[in-house]
Amino acid sequence: MSRMIFVNLPVADLEASMAFYKSMGFENNARFTDDTAACMVWSEAISVMLHTHAKWRQFTSRPIPPVTSSEVMLALSCDSREAVDAMNEAAAANGGTADINPVQDPGFMYNRSLADPDGHIWEAVWMDPAAIPADDQTN
């Protein structure tokens, strides 16, 4: 089995969160979806598991962070600058918040940050590794 990542997130409204992630390009894997959780697939290696608060509490007794917190920022690679912009536009139109941080555009990379309806922070990123200035490359 290849290495994969499953990002697990607590959500207040499962249906609304599924619609939000679908608008950004995720696909639902119905095989791992029910009325308490949904598997939203970004790629062969990356899936996001959305859990109702009740379901989330079956996995941990730690408190669910408030919408205003920043526990992590998850970055998703996009195929182009336009795809980064489209993801942010989809976020804003589907219950999320676009551009929660300043847009980053150093030329070889372009990224914009957004928050889902529950305040989970995502960053849409496009990068052209061939355009990275030689003095900025690390070994």
Q: Specify whether 22 is located in the same domain as 50.
A: yes
pLDDT tens digits for range 63-108: 998 888 888 899 999 999 999 999 999 999 999 999 999 999 999 9
pLDDT tens digits for range 25-55: 999 999 999 999 999 999 999 999 999 999 9
Q: Specify whether 89 is located in the same domain as 50.
A: no
- Two tokens, residue 21: 């992630």
Nearest to 17 by CA among 45, 44, 56: 56
Q: Specify whether 81 is located in the same domain as 54.
A: no
- What is the sign, positive or negative, of the torsion defined by CA atoms of 37, 42, 47, 50? negative
What pLDDT score does 6 carry?
Answer: 95
- Two tokens, residue 136: 């900025």
For residues 115 and 100, the answer to whether their CB atoms sit within 8 Å is yes
Q: Specify whether 100 is located in the same domain as 54.
A: no
Could you give the number of structural domains in the chain?
Answer: 2
Higher pLDDT, 1 or 78: 78
Q: Domain of 95? A: 72-139
- Phi, psi (rounded to 5 degrees) for 125: -130, 135
Rounded (5°) CA angle 115-66-42: 35
Q: Specify whether 25 is located in the same domain as 81.
A: no
